[in-house]
Structure 1
Amino acid sequence: MSPSSTDGSATQAHVEKERDFYRKLLELGQADEIEPFLSDALALIVEISGALRGYVELMSSPDDREPTFWVAHGCEDKDVAEIRGYFSRGVIAEALATGRTISTVSALLDPRFSTSKSVQKNRIEALLCAPVGAAPPVGVVYLQNRAKKGPFPEDDRRRVEAFARHITPFAERLLLRRRRADEADSTRPLRRTLRADGIVGRSAALADVLAQAAAAAPLDITVLLTGTSGTGKTQLARVIHESSRRARGPFVELNCAALPEALLESELFGALPGAHSTAGRKIEGKVAAAEGGTLFLDEIGELKPSGQAKLLQLLQSKEYYPLGGTRPVRADVRVLAATNVDLKVAVQRKEFREDLFYRLQVLPIRLPSLTERREDVALLSEYFCAETCKTHGFPRLQLSVDALCAVEAAEWSGNVRELGHAVEAAAIRAAAEGVAQIERRHLFPPAAGASRPEKGAGAPVEIGPYRGLTFQEATRRFQSALLRDALEENGWNVADAAAKLDLARSHAYRLVRAFDLSRR
């Protein structure tokens, strides 16, 4: 092959590399959330530069001392804190202060950084660090050490600077979006006092629940959690435990509905050898297992009368008797309980002890249904989608706008639990098809043997049994027909139709879009 053809091939490869780089840069602008945007951005610049380690950080405000969002590549989780600490003191500090790209052939030999203990420990050679944003910068892109020996070439410096310039408007847009979302987040002040990372949502109804949990958490009092099935009572119990002084102690859960009455006493309080036919050795009960921590009694309304009496004694005296024991045992436990039945009604029916009821509900907290916190449905759906992809190793999936409208419009009688299962199933269907987005058809597939609804599902249907349909599909068809009738009667004035149906106008618009309704 002649030298000219070799040069031509190299030039063509260079052009293709530049083309792919800028194409992928443009694709970054499609991100809707800051975290996946940073991950994708860092993966791109690390790949194009051949760096062994990379780091991107953004600050919500130039006045911030610590980055609000950051992501690292090529280092273990245990190393990140040390690496971030070094970055903030050294290279990044200079890049942020000067607004200029920092480049060095070897940090070990560079007098600006060679005295750093981290540089010496990690044997840092070539590095590049470019500020993101005009003065003052909002963040940095940092690359360290190359797969190929030697310094980062001038082409890499040019690409990193171009990369930093191009991601600046994307980053600023996403930061502004997040800032506005945080300002609209009713739960944000409460999350500073609670360890509630697993609680998803920002509605006023959820904020009220978290406010009550924040009041209860530091106090060693009994809390009764109520609400319909699937609203997250167990999860809130964990939040209360982990936000209390007992957080270092165990969190022991016991489902009262799953215990036969004959085993209840030994399961709860333990048993001494010979106490019953199966007690050949000492059995530790759940109260002893929760010593120094929290005992969570789920489905407390299903506790049998004999168990109710013994639990009352524990709450009153802080002592209990193991099965077969003659001496009381002192218990250092906090009791949290949950139920989805109305205990007041159970008391009236003599199915639940009144004195135990009042002992349990020192501070009652009712968890709202999804209908009461409908503005959290989209956030929960996106969270469940991301968790499903992480659990099953799927490529990142997103819910389409149409799918989000559909989940917001649907009725979730099983609340958060039912929504989570529906989104997981939809993600599995979408991943099996190899698509990047979850669509409405993945969330609400037609029932086996049922005819597929026409687009818009607006044809009049009889109000009555919907043979062969799932509950969700039957509900959707009924809602669609009802809304279409109201729109037709009001000349397709959405505000008037919403008023007639006692709906918020914004929710009516979401339903129109979710059901794909259009004027005939």
Structure 2
Amino acid sequence: MEVVPPDVVNLQQERDLYRNLLELGGKDEIEPFLEEALSLIVRISSAQQGYLEILDAQSGSDTPGLWMAHGCYDEDVEAIRAVVSRGVLGAAIASGQTVVSTSVLEDPRFSSRRSVQRNKTGAVLCAPIGHPPLGVVYLQDRVGPGSFSEEDRHRVERFTRHLAIFADRLLLRRQQHGPDPTLPFRRLIRTESVIGRSAAMARVLEQVAVAASCDIAVLITGPSGTGKTQVARVVHDNSERARKPFVELNCANLQETLAERELFGAVRGAFSGADKLMKGKIDAAEGGTLFLDEIGELPLGVQAKLLQFLQSKQYFRLGDTSPLVADVRVIAATNSDLEAAVARKTFRDDLRYRLEVLPIPMPALSERREDIPALAEHFCARACEAQKRPRLRLSPGAMLAMQAVEWPGNIREIANKVEAAVARAGVEGVSQVDRRHLFPSRVSGPARPQWLSYHEATRQFQRQLLEKTLEETNWNISECAERLELSRAHVYNLIAGFGIERKKS
């Protein structure tokens, strides 16, 4: 058996540590980042317990802004915080140096403290995070025999140097964007595919968490392109049915016979050309979830049969007289007003009530404009990967332009616009997507079309209205914002996004 030299082992550990930290650095929120970082350092240092604290810069070093523990019971955390806050932490913060002790209980620097005597604190290693310190990592007791070694100290110090860079970036992000209201619900369910941290998305995720915890019918409503299918998938993936199929059926433009066949299946001879048994979507979704998109377009005759299935879990294949039983959860979605459809007698009121046990309304993008930058970055990265291009970034001008316009097609429109912009930028061989890639001007000349798309017409109107109002108010931004019923920040974004400059007098 070949013996690996110690220096090679150390190099491998350093590489693995840095690689893990880079993966953690992709997170957008400070809490999950710190939690996984602490777990990592506890593991590589073979500590029994770990504690990580980020100081509150405004309140002083005695007040933790953020803290978390690993491998500890509640009483352990209280004991560790007592030792850290009154002794070891203070020494690490004041000196900016790592504190290592084979036994704090016998260490003359800390042994006289009551918390140390009461808790019989043993071996510890406490390293400051960054210089000047923005926090500390505290490790207590090793899994194996002995105290923390010199190599443990070096490893933890390398860890905290990298940790400080990522933590500082996430803290700055929080200061710029404020707290993330979606975070409490993201801790309850897996939501990696859901982009955004607006209050509107927090309300959606709150309902998604409820829907995932039970097995009742859900109706998702909202304009086209807002992500209804994605939310249905998140509900399914976080439910007890996650290991079973997620089957989709778009009910739009389906004639009654076709809709019935797609939903319930058909037996041989049920209609012309039916030369074999045809299984439907309900059969395919057995044990899992059936997602019915555009439910408002389902023909009335099939609505009655769907209602029967929802009430009894029984259904009939087209042309069959023997009932079948299925264990399927139904999630439906629509961008139409079902109450109005009921009034027009194109949708059954009893089916609406049966589907709308738990409603989840999806907000239009106009209700969550603060999510536009994150969505744009996400779609840019996805487009680069799909088109096999080097990673491109959205320029500040491109980002401001995207925030300045309306998106009647919502998230789907942004995704398509960014995908096309990445293709244009990629052909040019540039390193970033600019405003001109997103909103290219039309080619001049006799072949130029004499029409504008809805999106372009809207942009032109917005720009003209803003320019007119700025001139009328002599570029008084506060007055301009008041007239247009916008925030001052949004007016500044519009000015930058449209590239409007004040005319020289």
**Residues 1:472 and 2:455 are matched in the alignment:** yes
Check the 8 A contact 1:447/1:469 in 2, yes or no: no
Shift of 1:55: 3.2
Provide the residue aligned with 1:191 in structure 2: 186
The code of the aligned residue for 2:130 comes to: G
CA deviation digits over 1:256-301, x for unaligned, max 9?
1143322222211112223223332221111111111111000111
Shift of 1:471: 2.9
State the identity as a percent: 50
What is the CA–CA distance in structure 2 between the aligned matches of 1:256 and 1:387, rounded to whole Å? 29
CA deviation digits over 1:386-410, x for unaligned, max 9?
1112222221111111111100111
Check the 8 A contact 1:227/1:369 in 2, yes or no: yes
What is the CA–CA distance in structure 2 between the aligned matches of 1:297 and 1:190, rounded to whole Å? 25
What is the CA–CA distance in structure 2 between the aligned matches of 1:161 and 1:233, rounded to whole Å? 45
Check the 8 A contact 1:182/1:188 in 2, yes or no: no
Check the 8 A contact 2:41/2:156 in 1, yes or no: no
Equivalences for 1:20-99 in 2 at 5 Å? 53-56=15-18, 57=21, 68=35, 87-89=44-46
Provide the residue aligned with 2:485 in structure 1: 502
Q: 1:252 to 1:163 in 2, by over 3 A?
A: same
Check the 8 A contact 1:320/1:329 in 2, yes or no: yes
Provide the residue aligned with 2:211 in structure 1: 216
**Residues 1:484 and 2:470 are matched in the alignment:** no
Check the 8 A contact 1:447/1:470 in 2, yes or no: no
With the length of structure 1 as denominator, give the TM-score of the two structures: 0.68
Equivalences for 1:255-404 in 2 at 5 Å? 255-404=250-399
Provide the residue aligned with 2:197 in structure 1: 202
SS in 2 for 1:341: coil
What is the CA–CA distance in structure 1 between the aligned matches of 2:501 and 2:361, rounded to whole Å? 40
CA deviation digits over 1:450-476, x for unaligned, max 9?
89xxxxxxxxxxxxxx94333333222
Q: 1:500 to 1:181 in 2, by over 3 A?
A: closer
Shift of 1:429: 1.1
| Residue number among 503, 511, 516 corresponding to 2:494 in the alignment | 511
**Residues 1:244 and 2:246 are matched in the alignment:** no
SS in 1 for 2:202: helix
Check the 8 A contact 2:226/2:410 in 1, yes or no: yes
SS in 2 for 1:262: helix
Provide the residue aligned with 2:476 in structure 1: 493
With the length of structure 2 as denominator, give the TM-score of the two structures: 0.70
Q: 1:375 to 1:326 in 2, by over 3 A?
A: same
What is the CA–CA distance in structure 2 between the aligned matches of 1:221 and 1:161, rounded to whole Å? 49
What is the CA–CA distance in structure 1 between the aligned matches of 2:265 and 2:159, rounded to whole Å? 63
What is the CA–CA distance in structure 2 between the aligned matches of 1:64 and 1:389, rounded to whole Å? 29
Provide the residue aligned with 1:431 in structure 2: 426
CA RMSD of aligned residues (A): 3.8
Q: 1:450 to 1:490 in 2, by over 3 A?
A: farther
Provide the residue aligned with 1:104 in structure 2: none
**Residues 1:410 and 2:372 are matched in the alignment:** no
Q: 1:200 to 1:279 in 2, by over 3 A?
A: same
Check the 8 A contact 2:129/2:164 in 1, yes or no: no
| Residue number among 439, 442, 446 corresponding to 1:447 in the alignment | 442
CA deviation digits over 1:205-250, x for unaligned, max 9?
1111111222222222111111111000000111111121211211
Uncovered stretches (5+) of structure 1, i.e. residues with no partner: 1-48, 71-80, 101-129, 140-157, 452-465
What is the CA–CA distance in structure 2 between the aligned matches of 1:222 and 1:450, rounded to whole Å? 56
What is the CA–CA distance in structure 1 between the aligned matches of 2:445 and 2:304, rounded to whole Å? 52
Uncovered stretches (5+) of structure 2, i.e. residues with no partner: 1-10, 51-87, 99-126, 139-153
SS in 2 for 1:225: strand
Check the 8 A contact 2:229/2:293 in 1, yes or no: yes
SS in 2 for 1:364: strand
Check the 8 A contact 1:412/1:418 in 2, yes or no: yes
What is the CA–CA distance in structure 1 between the aligned matches of 2:202 and 2:46, rounded to whole Å? 38
What is the CA–CA distance in structure 2 between the aligned matches of 1:69 and 1:161, rounded to whole Å? 15
Shift of 1:181: 6.4
Check the 8 A contact 2:41/2:159 in 1, yes or no: no
Shift of 1:169: 6.4
Shift of 1:161: 12
In the alignment of these two chains, the number of paired residues is 402
Q: 1:137 to 1:318 in 2, by over 3 A?
A: same
Equivalences for 1:137-176 in 2 at 5 Å? 170-176=165-171
Q: 1:403 to 1:162 in 2, by over 3 A?
A: farther
What is the CA–CA distance in structure 1 between the aligned matches of 2:468 and 2:458, rounded to whole Å? 15
Check the 8 A contact 1:389/1:395 in 2, yes or no: yes
What is the CA–CA distance in structure 2 between the aligned matches of 1:65 and 1:260, rounded to whole Å? 49
What is the CA–CA distance in structure 2 between the aligned matches of 1:499 and 1:232, rounded to whole Å? 33
What is the CA–CA distance in structure 2 between the aligned matches of 1:282 and 1:271, rounded to whole Å? 6
The code of the aligned residue for 1:55 comes to: L
SS in 1 for 2:223: coil
CA deviation digits over 1:5-52, x for unaligned, max 9?
xxxxxxxxxxxxxxxxxxxxxxxxxxxxxxxxxxxxxxxxxxxx9999
Provide the residue aligned with 2:82 in structure 1: none
Check the 8 A contact 2:212/2:236 in 1, yes or no: yes
Equivalences for 1:112-127 in 2 at 5 Å? none
What is the CA–CA distance in structure 2 between the aligned matches of 1:422 and 1:491, rounded to whole Å? 34
What is the CA–CA distance in structure 2 between the aligned matches of 1:266 and 1:340, rounded to whole Å? 24
Check the 8 A contact 1:131/1:164 in 2, yes or no: no
The code of the aligned residue for 1:502 comes to: E
Provide the residue aligned with 2:416 in structure 1: 421
SS in 2 for 1:213: helix
Check the 8 A contact 1:449/1:468 in 2, yes or no: no
Shift of 1:313: 0.9
SS in 2 for 1:281: coil
Check the 8 A contact 1:224/1:336 in 2, yes or no: yes
